[in-house]
């Protein structure tokens, strides 16, 4: 619901280029353009004939976490995949997320989905921060990986 943040899309592109990105169907449908140079895995509750069906843009559709992980491993270059939303997908994959790249917007906006930030990062330690006028980037790493 906030206006574009200077540098945010460039940062997102730099982080995710050449990687697998996992998202829910609504997030996928909200994308203004295809995510070139990335493999999109879309988790959906809609019935699929077979897991791994690809759409015209090459996105892979799956119904469950195990299929998402299987296709992420098959499509992955390296061992990093990004979970980019929505909130339900974060919840379903929470145990597997080892690092959070968070953009914190410094103003309040009316929205339709909310995430409990304290709950989200309780098992993580802040590992980086980059301050900007309207937003701040935070990096959090899972505590067991930083000890």
In angstroms, the CA 43 to CA 41 distance is 7
Quote the pLDDT of residue 17.
Answer: 96
**What average pLDDT does the segment 25-33 reach?**
94
Q: Given a cut of 70, is residue 146 above it in pLDDT?
A: no
User: Is residue 22 one of the residues assigned to a domain?
Assistant: yes
User: Is residue 44 one of the residues assigned to a domain?
Assistant: yes
**What average pLDDT does the segment 91-105 reach?**
93
User: Is residue 2 one of the residues assigned to a domain?
Assistant: no
Find the CATH number of the domain harbouring 96. 3.40.430.10
Domain boundaries, position 76: 8-146
Quote the pLDDT of residue 107.
Answer: 92
User: Is residue 13 one of the residues assigned to a domain?
Assistant: yes
User: Is residue 116 one of the residues assigned to a domain?
Assistant: yes
User: Is residue 3 one of the residues assigned to a domain?
Assistant: no
Quote the pLDDT of residue 147.
Answer: 64
Lowest mean pLDDT among 59-63, 88-92, 113-117: 113-117
Quote the pLDDT of residue 49.
Answer: 82
**What average pLDDT does the segment 95-120 reach?**
90
In angstroms, the CA 17 to CA 35 distance is 9
Is the pTM of the predicted complex or chain greater than 0.85? yes
User: Is residue 26 one of the residues assigned to a domain?
Assistant: yes
In angstroms, the CA 67 to CA 70 distance is 5
pLDDT in tens, 39-75: 999 999 988 888 899 999 999 999 999 999 999 999 8
Closest CA to 112 of 85, 137, 94, 140: 85
Q: Given a cut of 90, is residue 105 above it in pLDDT?
A: yes
Helix, strand and coil content of the chain, in percent to the nearest 5, comes to 30, 30, 40
The number of domains in the chain is 1
The mean pLDDT of the chain is: 92
């Amino acid at each position: 619901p906030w206006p574009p943040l200077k540098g945010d899309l460039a940062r997102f592109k730099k982080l995710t280029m050449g990687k697998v990105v996992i998202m829910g169907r609504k997030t996928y449908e909200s994308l203004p353009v295809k995510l070139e140079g990335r493999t999109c895995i879309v988790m959906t509750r809609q019935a699929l004939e077979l897991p791994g069906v690809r759409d015209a843009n090459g996105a892979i559709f799956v119904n469950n976490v195990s299929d998402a992980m299987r296709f992420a491993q098959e499509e992955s270059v390296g061992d990093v995949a990004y979970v980019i939303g929505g909130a339900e997908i974060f919840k379903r994959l929470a145990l597997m997320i080892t690092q959070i790249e968070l953009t914190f917007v410094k103003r309040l906006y009316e929205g339709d989905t909310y995430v409990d930030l304290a709950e989200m990062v309780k098992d993580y330690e802040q590992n980086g921060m980059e301050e900007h006028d309207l937003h701040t980037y935070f990096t959090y790493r899972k505590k067991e990986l930083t000890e």
